[in-house]
Chains A and B, each alone.
Chain A
């Protein structure tokens, strides 16, 4: 380590943020965040987004007739298999 991470610019910090988050370490402990509310807010937002995404449930149902389509596709396959 040649430079003090507490003195890095926002740009430097944000440039390594993807790796920092991806490393599995607690990114919120990074020294830059002690002094930088802007980057703290950024990190908090990213965590909020990830958390909200985890809570998205399967929302949509397919149309009712999709099963009929699947069923006839299955039947077609089986008919052709029996003819082989």
Chain B
């Protein structure tokens, strides 16, 4: 792979961050996209720093949101986003285009987060035991009177909040499967657990969310 390593700023491209204008320009986006995405990718692979900055600008929201949803902590999510893009910078020349770049980057970020969670000691393989010390009352059993159910639409913010409140293991699987669209077999590989485990964790996560959302709507006087 050709690697003309030019780290010089590309002149003409909108200058990246303004280190001299600290504090000015609120909502200032670090980089305005200048190349079409394919070209930015090819240039970044060849070592173009400005193009890499553009890839960051294009993907930062998706990657940061992913990290934030997975760990539910702003400082950690920032660190993980940084680590993901740092790894991207190390590995970008090896991207072959077998999959879409955004898919590849997304998977890379998921792995960064999972590595971090493992280091923190979250037992990704035995979520059940970690999450359910007692079996007295599992989430969302619905044997009693037919009480209120969700009325077909869920407030986005209420859902975000409920997801944030899930226990870490449940949240992980729910985010990966239901929000990010990974299949159970992919999740099982990533978490080194069985497919059945992934399915049952997801089910329990949804049951817990249902409980949480029904409680919310009850408290807010919904029907």
Q: Does B221 contact A (CB under 8 A)?
A: no
Is A45 within 8 A of B160, CB to CB? no
CB within 8 Å of A: which of B162-203?
163, 174, 178-179, 181, 184, 196, 199-200, 202-203
Q: Does B68 contact A (CB under 8 A)?
A: yes
Instruction: For A50, list chain B residues within 8 Å (CB).
Output: 178, 206
Is A22 within 8 A of B203, CB to CB? yes
Q: Does A8 contact B (CB under 8 A)?
A: no
0/1 string, A36-77, CB within 8 A of B gives 1: 011101101110111011111011111110111111011001
Q: Provide the main secondary structure of the chain B interface.
A: helix
Q: Given the complex of chains A and B, what is the CA–CA distance between A46 and B140 in angstroms?
A: 10
Is B156 within 8 A of A52, CB to CB? yes
Q: Which residue of B lies closest to A24 (CB)?
A: B184
Is A61 within 8 A of B60, CB to CB? yes
B148 to chain A, nearest CB (A): 9
The one of A18, A42, A46, A60 that contacts B199, using a Cβ cutoff of 8 Å: A18
B150 to chain A, nearest CB (A): 5
